[in-house]
Structure 1
Amino acid sequence: MVEFSLLTGLAIGPTVGLLATLAMDLVMARLPEGETPPKVAASVLTGESVDTAPARLATWIHYVAGAGSGLLFVGIAAALGSALDGAVVTLTTASVVQLALMIGFFAFVPLPRATGVPRGRRARVRRAWAIEATAYVLVAALAVAAVGRVV
């Protein structure tokens, strides 16, 4: 089962998120548009083109969003854990929900609002984000499973 107290979940979530974000960084470095998604967020916040968006802001957004997504993932897993039977089913379902939220949010909120991303490039950026988000969710699920056995 995936059962955490509120306090434990608040502590574990951002840690899981940062670990998953670090794993995501390895995938980002290997993809042609892999470094673009954090720049998309920086572009939306600053109004600058994706290619000239502040790298420091993009990095900050990337890690803060990663920690927050970890908190969301742990919350989803804990909520589903009370309704579903077994850690594997719970974490698999939480992973599908989290992945859909991550890809859907990125594709429909910041990406269309970013400056300097033509339609053809948007498809490549969405594809890169989907691969990166999958890596994130996989690591987050494994981390929650490992912590769930310890806690």
Structure 2
Amino acid sequence: MNTILAISELTVSLRFLLGIIAAAIATMVMNYVMAELPEGNTPPRVAAGVLTMLRPEDAPRRLAWVVHYVAALLTGPLFVWLIFSVEALLSDTALSVAVSAIILYALMIGFFMIIVLPQSRVSASRVNTIRRDWALTAGGYLGVLVPLIGGVSLLLS
């Protein structure tokens, strides 16, 4: 086997593993941001409520946190995949990291606000605050994830 090919394959695998580790760190920051916002802890409850067809307040807390952590941890490898995909098109790692971050933020916000939140049984008076708090929370998460994964991507390119 070609040594350069083996190193390249190992680098790809390590970047996906780093995606999970960076996502775990970003999730800790995200949890802090969520705790500081009026509706910060609501999005996981909304997701659990949609899955169980219950109001967020009645949704199982354990399910809410399982959904929260699984989604947060899998977003790290998703970001790595986005960087690889965009880099294949642009051939510029720094630009690929930036474009991938914008795409990921749009996906995070769009999925929650367009697909999940409208299906929830949350009162209409809370929707704008929940949207704002989710946008801030997702921004806090990406504020940690992007430099960690992007920095390593730049070092390995």
> Under a length normalisation based on structure 2, what TM-score does the superposition of the two structures give?
0.85
Q: CA deviation at 1:150?
A: 6.5
SS in structure 1 of the partner of residue 89 of structure 2:
coil
Q: Distance in 1 between matches of 2:85 and 2:14?
A: 14
Q: Distance in 2 between matches of 1:86 and 1:24?
A: 29
Alignment of 1:12 onto 2:18: yes
Count residues in correspondence. 148
Q: Distance in 2 between matches of 1:89 and 1:104?
A: 22
Determine which structure has more spread, i.e. the larger CA radius of gyration.
2
Q: Distance in 2 between matches of 1:22 and 1:71?
A: 17
Task: Give the 5 Å matches for 1:1-150.
Answer: 5-115=11-121, 117-148=122-153, 149=155
Q: CA deviation at 1:83?
A: 2.7
Unaligned runs of 5+ in 1: none
Q: Distance in 2 between matches of 1:46 and 1:6?
A: 37
| 2:83 aligned partner, one-letter code | A
| 2:76 aligned partner, one-letter code | G
Q: CA deviation at 1:33?
A: 0.3
Query: RMSD of aligned C-alpha atoms?
Result: 2.0
Q: CA deviation at 1:107?
A: 0.5
SS in structure 2 of the partner of residue 34 of structure 1:
coil
| 2:47 aligned partner, one-letter code | A
Q: Distance in 2 between matches of 1:85 and 1:71?
A: 20
Q: CA deviation at 1:10?
A: 3.1
